[in-house]
Amino acid sequence: MAVQPSASPATAAVISNSGDARRNGWYPDQTSLTPALVSSGTFGQLFSTPIVGQVYAQPLVVNDLVFVATEANWIYGIDAVNGAVRWSRNVGTPWNPQDVACGDLMPEVGITGTPAIDDQTGTAYFVAKTYTVGPGTAVRWRMHAVDVTTGIERAGFPVTIQGVADNNPAQPFTPVTQHQRPGLLLMDGVVYAAFGGHCDAPPFRGWVVGVSTAGQIRAMFSTRAGDAAASGNGIWHSGSGLVSDRAGSIVFATGNAFGNGSPSTPIPGSTPPPDLGQTVARVTVQPDGTLRATDFFTPFDALTLDAADVDLGAGGPVSLPPAYFGTPAHPNLILEIGKQGYLYVIDADNMGGSQQGPGGGDLLVNRLGPFGGVWGRPGVWPGDGGYVYIPYNQGSMGVYQYVLDGTGNPTFVQRGLSSDMLGYGSSAPVATSSGAASGSALVWLIWTPNGGGAGAQLRAYDPVPVNGTLVQRFAAPIGQATKFTPPGVGNNRVYVGTADGRLLGFGAPVNPPVTIPAIAFPTIAVGQSNTQTATITASASVTIQSIGRTGSAFAVGAPSRSLP
């Protein structure tokens, strides 16, 4: 029986981070992007388009256009086939992170979180950090909505994000010290943006802010509502987006709580506390549009994680497609893995609370590891029995197959590793395929050798290991990579935004820099020569360094045009 791919229910017409609102990185509609094509030699870099600013937001593909946003607060509509810039626009002076002595993302912060695009209306939503006039003036975060075909702002936008927490009116939003890194979520006419901090500079909290598509602030939820003056519990996910696995519901993970901001006593998941540090939490939209926490999971050793700066929320949660994963007892599953390296398999319908398991431990479907720490999220390929790919920080990429354990609970068994090490900053994986058809899939990531991003490559692997090792199908240099950002995917092509201000497009057929039609030589006696004209057509500025031959039976004489 054929099983159809399952989209996130509330966001089927939305183009956003990691494929859809489940954030598992699966792109099942890339029917022509096959392993055979990618390794054939006709697949490669199509273009390299200069842009202004670093690209931390994942490039998004809308029909024949790539929407790109940068830290310099430039947005672009770029032709998805040839890389031509159709339009560009600057939305304000980017913020200088040295204002709070933070060197994490330098030299400027503008648009970091991946936008969300309403494919039905052709509207791209994104959040930008700007000065009101220039350096030294007030700082603000604004939600923008633009026509994706022109870059022109929609009526009612931009909207300045400001106000106090709905769940603690004594706690204000502080734009200077907040950073918007996770991908945006567009759900039921509201765009949700999550916030953390810059290098833990106080005061900052975790926030989920909702702005309606009509331009009104609908929700201001704080993860640190128990203490209006305290900092912590930021939401950053290393860029992975807010998750929605059902209508009216959002799932996210939080980071360090600084001692007293995470659950540390037994608490059922159905009664979340006001402080949600080191936690995977579910919030639900209320009739008035505000958000209320309705379920959560906090590891039993959250205080230990907090003391060691081992934040759970360095990794973003992933909702597994229920058509391929889950059992009647646990039909809906969420995966979470952060800096500590444990893979938590969470029942999305009963997340587990705090210390609800045997002996005050965790109440989970399963916990595996510890493996290497993760900054990003796992990738998912539902075909071939179901696989999960975990990009260990400064380790290999682990490959785990979905199985049932001895008690019938869902779990994962390691089947292999990548042969190479992933340097700090390597991206979360994405999978492309034709549905769940075996033999159609590839697993992609941006590999970096170190945290500096230099020498990065776009890589593709077969999804099923051979003798315990992932087979690499493709690799291409991309120059300087940003941290954690996965490649964009669409129309059987792959797109990479770089730290040195470029959008690279990869696809087939590759447009070679020079083309030379075949030359037909007549029959020539041994020892004699013949002259023919070769017409070389260049598609870009090139220098021909030499002319050679592929066989030993003939020699190449000196050309009539001199070479450098």
Report the relative pairing of strands 14-15 and 116-118 from DSSP bridges. antiparallel
Reported confidence tier of residue 548, pLDDT bands at 50, 70, 90: low
> Interior CA angle at 355 toward 354 and 356, to 5°?
95
**Residues with Cβ within 8 Å of residue 56, at least 6 apart in sequence:** 71, 105, 111, 112, 181, 239, 482, 483, 485, 497
Q: What is the pLDDT of residue 551?
A: 43
* Residues β-bridged to residue 353: 297
Between the two ends of the chain, the Cα-to-Cα distance in Å is 63
Domain with 309 in it: what CATH number? 2.140.10.10
The closest alpha carbon to 203, from 190, 187, 185, 222, belongs to 222
Sequence-separated contacts (24+) of 414-420 with Cβ below 8 Å: 415/387, 415/464, 415/465, 415/468, 416/465, 416/466, 416/468, 416/469, 416/470, 417/465, 417/468, 417/469, 417/470, 418/461, 418/469, 418/470, 418/472, 419/469, 419/470, 419/472, 420/396, 420/447, 420/472
Average pLDDT (507-512) is 84
124-139 tens-digit pLDDT: 999 999 999 888 899 9
Specify the 3-state DSSP secondary structure of 87. strand
Distance of alpha carbon 363 from alpha carbon 272, whole angstroms:
15
- What is the number of structural domains in the chain? 1
Q: What is the pLDDT of residue 1?
A: 31
Q: What is the pLDDT of residue 560?
A: 64
Whether 275 is covered by a domain: the verdict is: yes
516-525 tens-digit pLDDT: 654 545 556 7
> Interior CA angle at 176 toward 170 and 179, to 5°?
95
15-35 tens-digit pLDDT: 999 999 999 999 999 999 999
Whether 189 is covered by a domain: the verdict is: yes
Task: Tell me: pLDDT of 479 over 50.
Answer: yes
pTM reported for the whole predicted model = 0.90
Q: Which two tokens stand for residue 558?
A: 């000196």
Average pLDDT (57-66) is 98
Whether 552 is covered by a domain: the verdict is: no
Q: What is the pLDDT of residue 522?
A: 59
**Can you say how many angstroms the Cα of residue 77 is from the centroid of all Cα atoms in its chain?**
19
Q: What is the pLDDT of residue 4?
A: 40
188-201 tens-digit pLDDT: 999 999 999 999 99
Whether 554 is covered by a domain: the verdict is: no
Whether 563 is covered by a domain: the verdict is: no
Which amino acid, 460? A
C-alpha torsion sign, points 201, 204, 205, 210: negative
Sheet holding 343-347, edge to edge: 318-319, 333-336, 343-347, 366-368
Whether 436 is covered by a domain: the verdict is: yes
Least confident interval from 382-391, 441-450, 526-535: 526-535
C-alpha torsion sign, points 316, 322, 325, 326: positive
Q: What is the pLDDT of residue 562?
A: 56
Residue 140 belongs to domain spanning: 23-511+521-538
Reported confidence tier of residue 401, pLDDT bands at 50, 70, 90: very high
Which amino acid, 189? G
Residue 91 phi/psi, 5° resolution? -110, 15
CB-neighbour burial class of residue 376 (10 A; exposed 0-12, middle 13-18, buried 19+): buried
Whether 550 is covered by a domain: the verdict is: no
Specify the 3-state DSSP secondary structure of 181. coil
The closest alpha carbon to 28, from 492, 389, 354, belongs to 492
479: left (phi over 0), alpha (psi -120 to 50) or beta: left
Whether 469 is covered by a domain: the verdict is: yes
